[in-house]
Structures are given as C-alpha cells and as structure tokens.
C-alpha cells in the first residue's frame, strides 16, 4: 500500500466520492433514524449528503460504547439520540479507522467523557495523514477544516486506548470484541463483533452501496480480510456506509472486488497499457452492473478502483 503524502488531494477525492455516491445511491427513510438491531444494540445510518458515516452503539450495564466518532456535525446528530435510548454515559468511542468521517468527531466524545479507542494501525495512519496535530506539515485535518466549519471549530483528538489485534468489553451479560483482521480499506481497520448476537460492525472495510474509497487500502489484501470476516458467521452486518443487511453484504462486497480484480488481471496479463485498461472500463462497468448481487457496488466511474488494482498488479497509473 502506498503511504499517503503529507498533504494531497486524497481527502478531497474522498469527499467528492462520498457526495457522488450520495447522489446516485437511492435515499431511504432509514437515514438519520435509530434502528434497534438487538436489545441494547442500535444502528444509525448517516446522511452521506453531509459526509456522515453510520454509527452504532451498545449499552452495557454501566456505560455505552459508541461505534464511530463521525464528523463533528455527525456526532452532534447522534449524541442526543443515544441519550433517548439509554441514561448511561458514553464511556468509549471506537474509531474503526482514521478517516475524517469516522474519527474527526473524537473531541466531542472525549469532552463528553469518552475514551477514544482504535486499532494501533489507525493511530499510525493518523500520524501519517493528519500530520499537523503531531507537529508536522499540514495534513488532511487542515484540508478538511478549510471546507467544513464543523472541523474548523474543533480540534483533532487521537485515540488513546489502542489494541494490536483484539480487545474485548465484557460485563458478564454482554460481550463485545474489537478485532483487526488484516489490511482492507486502510492498514488499521477495526471491526466490532458481538458473538452472542452475531452482529458485525465493519466500518468501511465493508459498505453497502457504491461507497468504496480505495485510496488508503490494498484490494488484494482487502479480499483476504473479508474472507476472514465471513468466517465469523455474522447474521447481521452493519456497514460503514449504506443500510444494514445480512451476511450477503460481506459476500457481495468481496465478490465485487473479486470480479473487478479478475477482469483487470486479464487485461494486465494480456500486456494492455494503462490507457487501454482505462478505455475498457465503461464496458466493464456494464458487465459488473449485470451481476445482480454486486450491481449496487459499481460506482459512477470505475477508474479509481480499477487503477488501484492495476497498480497493485505492477502496472502504471492511468493517464489523466
């Protein structure tokens, strides 16, 4: 995986991708509403038009664990809704990874008394990409602050409770396991697994719709990580973006990448140039959209996804 530059257009690209996805993805009545997945386990589908991620929260005997800090504006949407479901304090906020729509709201949760939790890799990625906070050159945080008043009005709060591969919350009645299963959407993707309820929160390692951002990931490794995730046997899958679903969401997300990778590899094996591969993408998108269970993952343009795979296979970037 390429290391993100100290300051690049990647955050802008991600924001644009989210906005484009929001336009083409059908809006549903579930956005910005609280859904009860199981007793004491809740899901809130974020509004991509505002750049918001999905959120989840889990009520324990003495406290609440919230999944995703969201952007600050997203955190402000979710906080009062959590209070409507439980009078217990939010003691922990989990970043599934370091991207702004999942971690830039950290300060609000910390100010409200929560400890910020993440995989060690998420903090490592934050130090690389959000360098202004750590004394380096301006990074993605500063870039976002120029475009989002909610970010400009807050400060970056890195996670402070870290785990390398796994940690658990268990109060004797409910058990929640935080897991790192491998590189996927980023190097530091964390998952949330409820073994008793068989509920799986995936962050952006699995989305449900045309919301995949691949700039900080590795698609070959991503496919392997999704295979490991499938083995848990989840019955309810809560993605980082898009509506909640069943195990088919993991299956379909993985198959989209497998089908795209197979087609790009065939072109690479045939020694097709970057320009040739790029020219083949409209027809390839039509093929992928004809596969019913993965059609919803196909974005407006395949260029970013296809280029990522082509470069992973040893090819050069596409011509602009």
Strand duo 236-239 + 199-203: pairing: parallel
Question: Which residue in 22, 43, 24 sits closest to 33, CA to CA?
Answer: 43
From 26-35, 62-71, 86-95, the region with the lowest mean pLDDT = 26-35
For residue 289, the model assigns a pLDDT of 98
Residue 22 has pLDDT above 50, yes or no: no
Strand partners, 119: 163
User: Can you tell me the distance from the alpha carbon of 139 to that of 134, in angstroms, rounded to the nearest whole number?
Assistant: 10
3-state secondary structure (DSSP) of residue 39: coil
Taking only the tens place, the pLDDT of each residue in 68-85 is 999 999 999 999 999 999
For residue 29, the model assigns a pLDDT of 58
3-state secondary structure (DSSP) of residue 220: helix
- Taking CA atoms, 253 is separated from 26, 127, 245, 257, in Å, by 18, 29, 12, 7
Residue 248 has pLDDT above 50, yes or no: yes
Q: What is the mean pLDDT of residues 171-195?
A: 98
Taking only the tens place, the pLDDT of each residue in 255-306 is 999 999 999 999 999 999 999 999 999 999 999 999 999 999 999 999 999 9
Identify the sign of the CA torsion 73, 199, 113, 157. Answer: negative
- Do residues 219 and 262 touch, judged by C-beta distance below 8 A? no
Taking only the tens place, the pLDDT of each residue in 78-117 is 999 999 999 999 999 999 999 999 999 999 999 999 999 9
3-state secondary structure (DSSP) of residue 146: coil
- Do residues 230 and 250 touch, judged by C-beta distance below 8 A? yes
Residue 121: pLDDT band with limits 50, 70, 90? very high
User: Can you tell me the distance from the alpha carbon of 315 to that of 275, in angstroms, rounded to the nearest whole number?
Assistant: 11
3-state secondary structure (DSSP) of residue 127: helix
Residue 241 has pLDDT above 70, yes or no: yes
3-state secondary structure (DSSP) of residue 259: helix
Residue 216 has pLDDT above 80, yes or no: yes
Domain ranges of the chain: 10-246, 256-320
Main-chain phi, psi angles of 284, to 5 degrees: -65, -40
Q: What is the mean pLDDT of residues 129-148?
A: 92
User: Can you tell me the distance from the alpha carbon of 180 to that of 92, in angstroms, rounded to the nearest whole number?
Assistant: 18
Can you say how many angstroms the Cα of residue 168 is from the centroid of all Cα atoms in its chain?
A: 21
For residue 285, the model assigns a pLDDT of 98
Can you say how many angstroms the Cα of residue 24 is from the centroid of all Cα atoms in its chain?
A: 19
User: Can you tell me the distance from the alpha carbon of 290 to that of 41, in angstroms, rounded to the nearest whole number?
Assistant: 36
Question: Which residue in 237, 245, 215, 222 sits closest to 28, CA to CA?
Answer: 245
Identify the sign of the CA torsion 247, 248, 253, 254. Answer: positive
User: Can you tell me the distance from the alpha carbon of 34 to that of 203, in angstroms, rounded to the nearest whole number?
Assistant: 18
How is residue 281 written in tokens? 């993408």
Right CATH for 10-246 from 3.60.15.10, 2.40.50.100, 3.40.50.10300, 3.40.50.1950 = 3.60.15.10
Residue 28 has pLDDT above 90, yes or no: no
> Average model confidence (pLDDT) for the chain?
92
Q: What is the mean pLDDT of residues 128-157?
A: 93
Instruction: Kindly state the percentage of the chain with pLDDT values over 90.
Output: 88
Strand partners, 118: 162
Q: What is the mean pLDDT of residues 54-62?
A: 98
Identify the sign of the CA torsion 24, 100, 68, 254. Answer: positive
How is residue 245 written in tokens? 């679903």
Cα atoms in the 13 Å half-sphere on the side-chain side of 141: 29
Residue 131: pLDDT band with limits 50, 70, 90? confident
pTM (two decimals): 0.91
Q: Which residue in this structure is represented by tokens 């040739």?
A: 276
């Amino acid at each position: 995986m390429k290391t993100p530059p100290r300051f690049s257009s990647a955050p802008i690209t991600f924001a644009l991708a989210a906005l484009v996805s929001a336009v083409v993805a059908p809006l549903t009545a579930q956005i910005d509403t609280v859904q009860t997945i199981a007793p004491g386990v809740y899901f809130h589908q974020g509004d991509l038009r505002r750049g918001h991620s999905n959120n989840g929260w889990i009520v324990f005997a003495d406290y609440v664990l919230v999944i995703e800090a969201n952007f600050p504006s997203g955190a402000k949407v979710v906080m009062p809704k959590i209070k409507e479901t439980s009078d217990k304090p939010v003691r922990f906020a989990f970043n599934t990874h370091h991207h702004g729509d999942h971690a830039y709201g950290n300060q609000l949760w910390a100010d409200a008394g929560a400890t910020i939790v993440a995989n060690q890799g998420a903090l490592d990625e934050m130090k690389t990409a959000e360098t202004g906070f750590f004394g380096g050159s301006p990074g993605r945080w500063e870039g976002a602050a120029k475009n989002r008043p909610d970010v400009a009005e807050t400060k970056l709060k890195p996670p402070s409770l870290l785990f390398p591969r796994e940690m658990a919350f268990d109060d004797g009645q409910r058990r929640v396991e935080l897991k790192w299963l491998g590189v996927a959407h980023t190097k530091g993707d964390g998952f949330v697994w409820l073994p008793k309820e068989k509920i799986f929160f995936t962050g952006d390692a699995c989305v449900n719709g045309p919301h995949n951002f691949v700039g900080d990931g590795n698609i070959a490794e991503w496919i392997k990580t999704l295979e490991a995730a499938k083995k848990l046997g989840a019955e309810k899958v809560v993605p980082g973006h898009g509506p909640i679903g069943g195990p088919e969401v993991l299956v379909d997300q993985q198959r989209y990448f497998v089908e795209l990778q197979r087609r790009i590899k065939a072109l690479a094996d045939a020694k097709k140039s970057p320009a040739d591969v790029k020219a083949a993408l409209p027809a390839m998108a039509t093929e992928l959209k004809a596969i019913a269970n993965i059609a919803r993952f196909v974005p407006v343009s395949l260029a970013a996804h296809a280029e990522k795979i082509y470069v992973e296979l040893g090819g050069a970037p596409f011509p602009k």
